[in-house]
Amino acid sequence: MLDFPRWKQTFYWLLAAVAMLASLPSLATFANLAWPSSLPRPEVNLGLDLAGGSHILLEASPDQVRRQRLEAMDEDVRQRLKQNAPDVRIGDVSTKDGTVSFMVEDAAQVDKAREAVLPLTSGAGVTGQRDWDIQMLDGTRIVLTPTQAGIDLAVSQAMDTATEVVRKRIDALGTREPTIIRQGADRIVVQVPGLKDPAALKSLLGQTAKLEFKLVDTTASQADIAQGIAPPGSEIVPYADAQSGGGAAAIAVKRLGGIKGDSLTNAQQTNDQRNNQPVVSITFDQAGGAKFAKLTTENVNKPFAIILDGKVISAPNINEPILGGSAQISGNFTTESANQLAIALRSGALPVDLKVVEERSVGPDLGADSIKKGGIAMLVGTTALAVFILFTYGRFGVYACCALIVNVLMILGIMAIANTTLTLPGIAGFVLTIGAAVDANVLINERIREERHRGRRVVQSVEMGYKEASRAIFDANITNVIAAALMFFFGSGPVKGFAVVLVIGIITSVFTAVTMTRMWVANWLRRARPSELAL
Amino acid sequence: MKLLKLIPDHTNIHFLRWRVPFYVASLVLMALSITLVATRGLNMGVDFVGGQMIRVTFTQSAAAPVAALREEVTALGYGEPIIQQFGKPNEVSIRMKLPEGSDKDAGLADAMAKRITGDIKVRHADVRVDGVDSVSGKVSKELGWTAFKALGLAALAVAAYIWIRFEWQFGVGALFALVHDVTLTLGLFAVTQMEFDLNIVAALLTLIGYSLNDTIVVYDRIRENLKKYRKMPLPELLDLSVNETLARTIVTSLSMLITLVALLLLGPDVIFGFTAAITLGIFVGTYSSIYMAAPILIWLKVTPSSFVPTESALEKQERLAREQS
């Protein structure tokens, strides 16, 4: 037990030295000292509760993705049959009960219709399942049912796109080091440190930014619109607010013949030259520009509605054909909201609506305060503890204290190397680990005392002390790791940070409090050959 | 240098003599805690019931004007807030229910936070807004459920570990001690009505870990002594084990307390409740490993033979083979 060959000693010291060195940049930061830029700089990240900033959990509704897929499939089926099997006449297309189904008028053509729509489905998942099941009903009806694998895949793809869009939007705000992670099947976690105005971020993320241009149906009477009755081929769309409608709450627009605003190459907040109101200038890509030119040429002097996320933001008149591929969106904007819309349009529409289900924002002052107080508490606590241990165990107390210092630096260093995050409860975990690390030394030293009292010789007492105490130390630490692991898996942000510190602390404290002190004690025993232990 | 010796050598306190009264007292306290938690309830934070929490500090005042604040916020028409001081008297958290319909329109919660903080800032010049937490009903339910799962699983997992390393009686004993510690801590939260949030769950999990620390040290010594003194009556043996580890128990508990008290008095105010929970847990955990975890072994009839190596499967095979031939 007390045999430490030179290579082993070198190895242990090397291990400790590397970890301790890695803690220096973080310590320099805490002490407000500059760290030379030529040296590597592993550093402990500060959690949002220490650095200040916002944590936002966004959730999408898989139902919406499901609905969108049905609608898209409805349209695809019609188009596909029109193009590839124009002689097949179909009717009664419906998207009820979560399926797309249609009648084939001539029963003899059912197989042909089936052949035609088959390429609309594709493989999903690893089991070779397809994303839609195609069945025939009563010999004349074809039913397309979305499979679970297909839905899962669609949701997953939608979330991937959404995450990308969210990233673009946050980058456009110019914040530093945002963290954007998909969580579970339908959630995205956004963490932005040092954010001043979380409200702006949230309204930006909450905006789906689905832009549409649709012709206004001028035949609809105000009374019908108010009752929600739309003329055939039209639909009622509400205004975004009372002001943009000029008193009206909703407007009727034609369902078909509109343009989607997803073919934009640019969007900027500008001011309208006539009245200096904030507007958003958009530029279409080539195909979009051509469509827009066609729409405006064919409908001069008619009003068209600019619809954002299912709400009309304005319904201006088309005064002249717009041929240049760029246009202005006017509406009831402030400079800020126009700028936000421009960012949202530039970064593309979200494939699903995202809503904020959890938000935690911490002001930067509180975090700085917490770091300062946590540091002081740690310094005072450690010093008081060291004094107590020194007075209780003398020389063995000195070893324990040295182990404590190495331990603190090692935890910090390993956290820096592993790029983990220090949170507020993490500081408490740190302090707690220090208290608990001493427990190992207490167990060992008490045991050595005991063995000595039983009349064992000095070297033998030390050896027995380490050996007998190790069993309890091992069991106790394993149970702590179990508790910490559960904290890690079930906890959220700050609690996770706490668990990480605990686990790192448990490992380093066994290394320092057991292995390192044993090495030091062994060296001392060999050198001084004491005949009595002051314990 | 004369060393500090808190516990004289050869201390022999008959701890186990009072096991019945202590057990009765503990069971009564546990029952009280459960009753309190059931009737008075825990002061659940937004983590578990959903809602919005705004934390503010009145930087120039000695104490926050809680009553005035309550009136002002109520006057805004979002319902009555729960206002609570934490850490220092000039720091308060204002908790609100989320406005109706905010699960559909997240902007409503934002608008509420903006109005409340705006109003407070206008009325009190020295207010510093330290943070806003909004948790929807759905997320808070999930957080509550995962917290419950984590606590339950942690308790069962460590009990199972002890069962494997020791004997089933020890596992039961450790589990009971754990339930005892967690129940009493919950009782404290019901009495003081300190806010119960996710951090406190982390504190409880830590508590489970460290309370077990103590229990394991005592159990380890009991196991050792069971092998060493096979003829010694169990109560006597338990007393011996507790006394032998008493110095360690006291020194370690004091070490933990020194750091925790530093954290309580000087540390960040936001984690006051968290630190308080762990500090209480150290006391309760130390007590329970002596008075809850140890005596239960008597009633569960632990015998020295539990730890005497018995015939292994291989040995049995060999013996049978020998007998046959």
Q: What residues 168-207 of chain A have any CB closer than 8 A to a CB of chain B?
A: 198-199, 202-203, 206
User: A425–B271: do the CB atoms touch at under 8 Å?
Assistant: yes
Query: What percent of chain A is predicted at pLDDT more than 90?
Result: 16
User: B3–A443: do the CB atoms touch at under 8 Å?
Assistant: no
Query: What is the per-residue pLDDT for A364?
Result: 75
Nearest chain B alpha carbon to A362:
B131
Same domain, B29 and B115: no
The Cα–Cα gap between B194 and B200 comes to 10
| Tens digit of each residue's pLDDT (9 = 90 or more) over A480-532 | 888 888 888 877 666 787 888 889 999 999 999 999 999 999 999 988 888 88
> Over 80: is that where the pLDDT of A342 sits?
yes
Query: What is the per-residue pLDDT for A86?
Result: 79
Angle of helix A198-205 relative to helix A148-173, nearest 10 degrees, comes to: 140
Give the phi and the psi of residue A356 in degrees, each rounded to 5.
Answer: -80, 120
Higher pLDDT, B209 or B310: B209
User: B262–A374: do the CB atoms touch at under 8 Å?
Assistant: no
| Mean pLDDT of all residues in A463-475 | 90
Q: Is the dihedral of CA A123, A127, A128, A133 positive or negative?
A: negative
Burial class (CB in 10 A: 0-12, 13-18, 19+), A472: buried
| Mean pLDDT of all residues in B121-147 | 86
**Least confident span in A70-74, A320-324, B238-242, B300-304:** B300-304
**Any domain includes B1:** no
What total of structural domains would you count in chain B?
Answer: 2
CB A274 within 8 A of CB A316: no
> Could you tell me how far CA B227 lies from the centroid of its own chain?
33
| Tens digit of each residue's pLDDT (9 = 90 or more) over A151-168 | 888 888 889 988 988 888
Query: What is the per-residue pLDDT for A125?
Result: 67
| Tens digit of each residue's pLDDT (9 = 90 or more) over A64-80 | 888 888 888 888 888 88
Mean pLDDT, all residues of chain A: 85
Selecting from B114, B129, B274 the residue whose C-beta is nearest the C-beta of A428 gives: B274
Strands A141-146 and A187-193: unpaired
Residues of A in contact with B199 (CB under 8 A): 425, 494-495
Query: What is the per-residue pLDDT for B208?
Result: 82
Give the phi and the psi of residue B226 in degrees, each rounded to 5.
Answer: -60, -35
Same domain, B27 and B172: yes
CB B213 within 8 A of CB A506: no
CATH number at residue B127: 3.30.70.3400
> Over 60: is that where the pLDDT of A1 sits?
no
A17 pLDDT tier (thresholds 50, 70, 90): very high
Inter-chain CB pairs, A–B, below 8 Å: 238
Diameter over CA atoms, chain A? 109
| Tens digit of each residue's pLDDT (9 = 90 or more) over A44-58 | 888 888 888 888 889
> Over 60: is that where the pLDDT of A350 sits?
yes
**ipTM confidence score:** 0.82
Element (H, E) at A84: helix A62-84
Q: Which domain holds residue B98?
A: 51-135
Same domain, B112 and B164: no
Q: Is A451 on the interface with B (CB under 8 A)?
A: no
**Any domain includes B8:** no
Query: What is the per-residue pLDDT for A126?
Result: 67
Q: Which of B135, B157, B186 is the last residue of a domain?
A: B135
> Over 80: is that where the pLDDT of B319 sits?
no
The Cα–Cα gap between B197 and B269 comes to 15
Higher pLDDT, A221 or B309: A221
Same domain, B122 and B144: no
B101 pLDDT tier (thresholds 50, 70, 90): confident
| Mean pLDDT of all residues in A37-48 | 81
DSSP, res A170:
H
Higher pLDDT, A114 or A126: A114
Listed residue (B46, B29, B56) closest to B126, CA to CA: B56
Listed residue (B87, B95, B98) closest to B57, CA to CA: B87
User: B106–A499: do the CB atoms touch at under 8 Å?
Assistant: no
Higher pLDDT, A144 or A123: A144
Domain ranges within chain A, ordered by starting residue: 6-52+363-528, 63-152
Nearest chain A alpha carbon to B275:
A428
Listed residue (A193, A52, A57, A159) closest to B140, CA to CA: A57
Query: What is the per-residue pLDDT for B325?
Result: 67
Higher pLDDT, B152 or A435: B152
CB A179 within 8 A of CB A146: no
Query: What is the per-residue pLDDT for B86?
Result: 76
Q: Which of B135, B168, B190 is the last residue of a domain?
A: B135
Nearest chain B alpha carbon to A369:
B268
Query: Closest approach of chain A CAs to the CA of B236, in angstroms?
Result: 19
User: A487–B150: do the CB atoms touch at under 8 Å?
Assistant: yes
B308 pLDDT tier (thresholds 50, 70, 90): low
Q: Tokens representing A42?
A: 């592993």
Would the pTM count as exceeding 0.80? no
Q: Outline where A193-350 has alpha helix (H).
A: 198-205, 222-227, 242-245, 286-298, 335-346
**Least confident span in A14-23, A35-44, B118-127, B159-168:** A35-44
Query: What is the per-residue pLDDT for A389?
Result: 92
Nearest chain A alpha carbon to B147:
A490
Report the first-to-last Cα separation within chain B, whole angstroms: 70
Q: Which of B110, B135, B160 is the last residue of a domain?
A: B135
> Over 70: is that where the pLDDT of A471 sits?
yes
Query: What is the per-residue pLDDT for A199?
Result: 75
**Any domain includes B222:** yes
Residues of A in contact with B205 (CB under 8 A): 483-484, 486-487
Same domain, B23 and B159: yes
Listed residue (B202, B100, B145) closest to A488, CA to CA: B202
| Mean pLDDT of all residues in B151-179 | 89
Query: What is the per-residue pLDDT for A67?
Result: 87
The Cα–Cα gap between B98 and B79 comes to 10
Nearest chain A alpha carbon to B278:
A432
| Tens digit of each residue's pLDDT (9 = 90 or more) over B10-64 | 788 888 888 899 999 999 999 999 999 999 989 888 888 888 999 888 888 888 8
The torsion angle over the Cα atoms of residues A293, A299, A303 and A307, rounded to 10 degrees, is -40
Same domain, B113 and B60: yes
Q: Tokens representing B47?
A: 């983590």
Selecting from A362, A384, A393 the residue whose C-beta is nearest the C-beta of B262 gives: A384
Report chain B's C-alpha Rg in angstroms: 26
Query: What is the per-residue pLDDT for B312?
Result: 60
Query: What is the per-residue pLDDT for B180?
Result: 93
Same domain, B172 and B250: yes
> Over 70: is that where the pLDDT of B188 sits?
yes
A12 pLDDT tier (thresholds 50, 70, 90): very high
Query: What percent of chain A is predicted at pLDDT more than 70?
Result: 97
Same domain, B214 and B301: yes
Element (H, E) at B186: helix B168-192
Taking 3-state DSSP, the helix, strand and coil percentages for chain B, each rounded to the nearest 5, stand at 65, 10, 20
Same domain, B277 and B128: no
Assigned architecture for domain A63-152: Alpha-Beta Complex (3.90)
Mean pLDDT, all residues of chain B: 86
Nearest chain B alpha carbon to A49:
B131
**Any domain includes B318:** no
Residues of B in contact with A498 (CB under 8 A): 202, 206
**Any domain includes B121:** yes
Residues of A in contact with B171 (CB under 8 A): none
Higher pLDDT, B167 or A194: B167
> Over 60: is that where the pLDDT of A13 sits?
yes
Query: What is the per-residue pLDDT for A317?
Result: 85
Q: Is A464 on the interface with B (CB under 8 A)?
A: no
Same domain, B294 and B177: yes
CATH number listed for the domain at residues A6-52+363-528: 1.20.1640.10
| Tens digit of each residue's pLDDT (9 = 90 or more) over A196-240 | 677 778 878 878 888 888 888 888 777 788 787 888 778 888 888
Q: What residues 497-516 of chain A have any CB closer than 8 A to a CB of chain B?
A: 498-499, 502
Same domain, B275 and B197: yes
> Over 80: is that where the pLDDT of A244 sits?
no
Same domain, B298 and B159: yes
Query: Closest approach of chain B CAs to the CA of A162, in angstroms?
Result: 18
Q: Tokens representing A451?
A: 């063995």
| Mean pLDDT of all residues in A429-449 | 86
